[in-house]
Amino acid sequence: MHLSKLFIPVTKNLPAEAKIKSHQLMLRTGMIKQSSAGIYSWLPLGFKVMKKIEQIVREEQNFIGAQEMLMPTIQSSEIWKESGRYDDYGEEMLRIKDRQGREMLYGPTNEELITDIFRSSVKSYKSLPQLLYHIQWKFRDEIRPRFGVMRCKEFYMKDAYSFDLSDEDARKSYNKMFYSYLKTFERLGLKAIPMAADTGPIGGDLSHEFIILADTGESQIYADKDVFEIEIDKYNFDDKSLEKMRKDFTNIYAVTDDKFKEEEFNKRVKKEKQIKTKGIEVGHIFYFSDKYSKPMNCLIDDKDGKKTSVKMGSYGIGVSRLVGATIEANYNNNIMKWPKSISPFDVVIIPSISKNNKENLEKAEKIYQELKKQNIDVLLDDVEENMSNKFKKHDLIGVPYQIIVGSKSENEKYEFKEVNSKSEMLSLDKIKIKLKI
């Protein structure tokens, strides 16, 4: 892609409510545009990053055997009346009527709908366990949407649902998701820590929020710093090892504020190991047993032919929130550097161009074609402006590698730079190797 052609409508005058760096950066690089309070359009640059995040989430869900499906955004109120949540959900639920006057709603989450789908087909324990997920837009009429895509009304979420015969089996599903989340966030270059959390309107007794540390986060957390040291690679993907993994995490103190008790914190964690700080919740998992299956009559035959309510859990990842959260974690000293796995481009070529000298641009075009042939996703900054402005712009766009074609380029060698490191002069062949690794 040539930068001169990229649709990147930069917001020059930031609105007063853009208080945190991710919100500012997303507006300044034209990743999103607000359409109304808490509702955004995703423009090409932002959309590309979000889709890459989505794909990593998908791959890690598939890895643990979860099956992708798609449920609608609009749901009927009937099933929510059955579960009892139609009234409980309150003003956060956007309620609408169709032309027949039927009460509908824009789904804030999908426990009811998936239970309805499940009960109509699965009747026997033999079909269990099941793990289903979808990646879909959700709507919550948040009272105070803020921080751009971090807390908005319409947001993109991966939500998964597990179905098991017994509590014991359900914990195995919970552990698989727990593992999948740690892997997912690791691939996104994020250190997300599972913290014991309250279950809120979803319900149930077992729940973890996955939190990344950030001053601008809305969650207050209390933890023993040892929890950051657990290596997930040492666990195998089998039930026993995964149970141990969850226990290892749960044995070290790490909670969100609604589970926090000062006395317990001081008793369990030495003063010098205590961390009290803020974080961003990027995922949330719940085990709630028969909270929905019971009122909704979602019954299965157990091994003795006895009817029993299926045991369920639900597991969310804020895909659109993760775009902002990744920026919070990687944008420092006015320089953004996207993790390679989700960067909008693999590399940017920055030629020095002036009115009378187009030679560098021609060289850059050649490199561009060559890299494209190798399936490398390249951005070419073909805009005629001075280099210092160009560099400032790329500090914000955040492509992790730069090829600078200017006065230093000679003998078919170009300045190659990884953001936040020193540059080196390399031949195109060497550059290709660096970019492929």
What CA–CA distances, in Å, run from 77 to 84, 99, 104, 113, 116? Answer: 10, 15, 5, 10, 12
Catalog residues that contact ligand 5CA under the rule CB under 6 A. Answer: 109, 111, 140, 142, 151-152, 155, 157, 159, 202, 281-284, 314-316, 318, 321
**Closest separation in Å from C-beta 393 to ligand 5CA:** 28
**Closest separation in Å from C-beta 89 to ligand 5CA:** 11
CB 280 within 8 A of CB 22: no
Q: How far apart are CA 85 and CA 112, in angstroms?
A: 9
**Closest separation in Å from C-beta 103 to ligand 5CA:** 21
Torsion of CA 293, 298, 300, 302, to 10 degrees: 30
**Closest separation in Å from C-beta 7 to ligand 5CA:** 24
CB 398 within 8 A of CB 340: no
Nearer of residues 295 and 406 to ligand 5CA, judged by Cβ: 295
User: Minimal CA–CA distance to 25: which of 336, 367, 233, 269?
Assistant: 336
Angle (CA) 87 259 177, round 5°: 75
Residue nearest to ligand 5CA (CB): 318
Nearer of residues 215 and 429 to ligand 5CA, judged by Cβ: 215
What CA–CA distances, in Å, run from 17 to 119, 244, 309, 335, 410? Answer: 45, 44, 47, 21, 47
**Closest separation in Å from C-beta 12 to ligand 5CA:** 26
Residue 34: helix, strand or coil by DSSP? strand
**Closest separation in Å from C-beta 63 to ligand 5CA:** 18
Nearer of residues 185 and 368 to ligand 5CA, judged by Cβ: 185
Q: DSSP label at 154? A: E
**Closest separation in Å from C-beta 102 to ligand 5CA:** 24
CB 223 within 8 A of CB 230: no
Q: How far apart are CA 391 and CA 378, in angstroms?
A: 16
What CA–CA distances, in Å, run from 405 to 157, 240, 359, 401, 426? Answer: 41, 54, 10, 13, 11
H or E element, residue 251: helix 239-251
Nearer of residues 111 and 224 to ligand 5CA, judged by Cβ: 111
Nearer of residues 198 and 215 to ligand 5CA, judged by Cβ: 198
Q: How far apart are CA 17 and CA 14, in angstroms?
A: 8
Nearer of residues 249 and 315 to ligand 5CA, judged by Cβ: 315
Nearer of residues 46 and 316 to ligand 5CA, judged by Cβ: 316
CB 105 within 8 A of CB 77: yes
**Closest separation in Å from C-beta 335 to ligand 5CA:** 26
Structure tokens, 291 = 């909270």
Nearer of residues 194 and 400 to ligand 5CA, judged by Cβ: 194
What CA–CA distances, in Å, run from 147 to 20, 150, 312? Answer: 6, 5, 32
Nearer of residues 173 and 409 to ligand 5CA, judged by Cβ: 173
Nearer of residues 125 and 156 to ligand 5CA, judged by Cβ: 156
**Closest separation in Å from C-beta 158 to ligand 5CA:** 8
Structure tokens, 326 = 């990744």
**Closest separation in Å from C-beta 150 to ligand 5CA:** 6
